[in-house]
């Protein structure tokens, strides 16, 4: 197979993956890998998408990465490379935030009792 034909086929595969992303279809591991390497600029200038469509593709790729990450924990996916992720998704509660929460609870308690908060 000559080089020109390989390049044409890989570009066609990438365009199919972009169309699948715009339609919200499930992507393969290889499609996610290829699309994650593209920037919004690449999608706009090389694949003739507008900024909204390019953003939608990038968001869909991120969602598919998350789906594949979760699926790979139960059923190993062929060609899937585990990427390091944050171990927690929670916001750490700092002392200053605890004080704000305590103050809000105090205000709510005063309002419930019917006292003026001024």
Q: Which residues contact 68 (CB under 8 A, 6 or more apart)?
A: 29, 32, 77, 80
**Integer-rounded Cα radius of gyration of the chain:** 24
Question: What is residue 35's predicted lDDT score, i.e. its pLDDT?
Answer: 93
Interval 13-45: pLDDT, tens: 889 999 999 999 999 999 999 999 999 999 999
Question: What is residue 49's predicted lDDT score, i.e. its pLDDT?
Answer: 93
Cα separation, 31 vs 9, whole angstroms: 13
pTM > 0.75? no
């Amino acid at each position: 197979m000559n080089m020109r034909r390989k390049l044409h086929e890989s570009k066609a595969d990438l365009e199919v993956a972009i169309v699948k992303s715009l339609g919200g279809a499930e992507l393969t591991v290889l499609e996610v890998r290829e699309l994650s390497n593209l920037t919004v600029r690449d999608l706009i200038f090389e694949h003739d998408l507008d900024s909204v469509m390019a953003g939608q593709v990038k968001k869909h790729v991120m969602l598919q990465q998350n789906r594949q990450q979760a699926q790979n924990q139960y059923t190993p996916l062929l060609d899937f490379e585990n990427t390091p992720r944050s171990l927690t998704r929670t916001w750490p509660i700092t002392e200053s935030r605890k004080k704000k929460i305590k103050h809000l609870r105090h205000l709510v308690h005063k309002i419930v009792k019917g006292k003026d908060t001024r």
